[in-house]
Structure 1
Amino acid sequence: MKKLFALTLAALMAAGTTTVAFAANEGVYIDPADDYYVLGSDNRAKAAASDDEYEGGDKLVIPVRVYKDDVSDGEYVAGDDTDLGFLTYTSDYDRNVTVRADWKVGKDLGAEVDVDWVNYSKLGNLGTSDSQIMSVIITLPENETTKVEDLAGTIRVGRTSSAAKKGPAFDLEVSFFSDATLTNTPNFDGGNLPTGSTGIVTFDKEAGEIDIDFDDIATFTVDVDGQGKLNLAWNTDFDKEFGAMYDYANLHFFNFEGTPAFNKTGTMMVYADKDTFIYEATEDGAKEIDATYDEDYEAWVFKTRKLTSYVVSDVELTDKTVTEDNSSSTTDGGKDNPDTGR
């Protein structure tokens, strides 16, 4: 941080300032030369080391500054600033702060960007032991893949959305890894992958074709020769939104959290009674699966390379439930019956 930060804060504290009354011709900005910090679970910022390995869900923070706006138009213009460097370190600052992020890399990842108060008291270079500073907070999106994701772009702040488009740009470039909650399974050559304790799976190089059991829910037979690591975390959580589409059915779900895609097509067997129906569960509803029922294994059998979410129903999911006036339900008979192979 620049020495101007410490000098300004020290002067305010020496004068016994406990509130900050900002004039109408002051605005907010973030300095492109500043650092970003990591927000701890105690809501305190800590310095980010150059070798930090970030994970999905981590929060990065950037302190917001105040500047004197000579023309009182609420927009930061280079050369228009005569007084820079004040930190909004007190909650008495009640001016609006709007943030704008323009992502050049990772736009579709869903990173959340907001502003809020952050405690910087762990950082001695800010010149105060109680630094509540209005800050930009970037929450890295969850990463349930096996690869490193990249997020890069510019961040600006202002009093208004218009002002936030014109302020100086803070360039952020960060890479982040899979979530720490994903458990590694090394040198896997077949067997059971239980729910709740399965995450990233690395396959034995000599494994060849193997059977992967998912408790007593399903078995996937596939050739893993040359297969890279995959996120095979799975669960049987009930999908409430999907269930609401078919509230007349008894549904059982089998969900892969990272939608892993194998190099080669394998055979999936989902164990269920003969008089049931199986579908792929999508956000748009039930999707057709070209499945047949194997009476010997008592399972629905189909070919696939990508593992998604599946649902077994006690009835055909031909109609979607339509809710009217939040009080009554009807069914829409316009949907074709997916071919389950039965």
Structure 2
Amino acid sequence: MTKTKVGIVFGGKSAEHEVSLQSAKNIVDAIDKEKYEVVLLGIDKQGKWHINNTSSYLINEENPKLIQLNKSNEQVAVVPGAENGQLVNMSRTDGLDQVDVVFPIVHGTLGEDGSIQGMLRLANLPFVGTDVLGSAVSMDKDYAKRLLHGAGIAVANGMTFRKSKQNEIDFVKVKEALGLPMFIKPANQGSSVGVSKVRNEEEFYQGMKDAFQYDQKVLVEEAIVGREIECAVLGNEDPIASLPGEVLPQTDFYSYESKYIDETGAELAAPADLSDELTKKVQQAAVEVFQTLDCEGMARVDFFLQENGELVVNEVNTLPGFTKISMYPRLWGISGIPYAELIDRLITLAVERHERNNQLKNTMWDE
């Protein structure tokens, strides 16, 4: 049987670089080697693409704080529009053996914001996950909230500020609008990077300063009191939702370290202790959010469940973590789809969408 060649793209110029390395490792370890041949394409922190060997692509792979990409001497470039050899080995200037499908697992900036997705579309390569538009709007918390609010889906009240106007930001006015405590978030980062919980004026200005290190646009949101419920969604035109899970942070809030480094930083109740009615409500809401933001392939939708039973969307992650403590694969695991099968389904969805898109006409006249 001819194996499908899967290019796993990981790393990247992002604050979530190390998380991406962990995700790639778990995918490589779990993927069905009888069905798939893995091609590793690691992106370093300077943005260079490397062709890596599966036996030596990571340094300190067991330590999430010290994990690093082992840079190779072979670099790769993507050639848009080429019929064959879209991936070129720059060290030898020859084409690589054709990759059949790409699994991008580059979290954060330049990875899940539509950048890689657009490049892969130009190269005519099928890829796992949401397409350009859905990736871009889901990554930008400001625009995602606007779209969800316009569709009648509840989101937290918030205010958006740009770095060019940061000298005009007034804590008193923000406090009057949103109350205390409040949360400050870079608009285009994920995984709690640059996020801070604010209880007073000093923390507010420090939080704004920290967030502006990661993005030109910052979102300030009211604190929502409620249980943190997460739901994984899988599919293209007819997506399905997993059983919901509940995050039980053991720290002040669900921070970056709680998600990816400290295995005791948060507990996951999986499935969440919800009634059948509430479980169905979360699943339906997750699919609605997924489709509203034009997501495909996969996404994790995070909610706050308030005491009155109402759901408020916190955020949507279109390339969720695939580390050993990540919520997306764990939620599908408890829903009956083990890790290796989940990877297989995601690859199948990528190929199906690519074939569907290639059926569209690209000229007004018959040739």
TM-score normalised per structure 1: 0.23
- Which structure's CA Rg is the greater one? 1
Q: Higher relative contact order at CA 8 Å, sep ≥6: structure 1 or structure 2?
A: 2
Structure that is richer in helix per residue: 2
Structure that is richer in strand per residue: 1
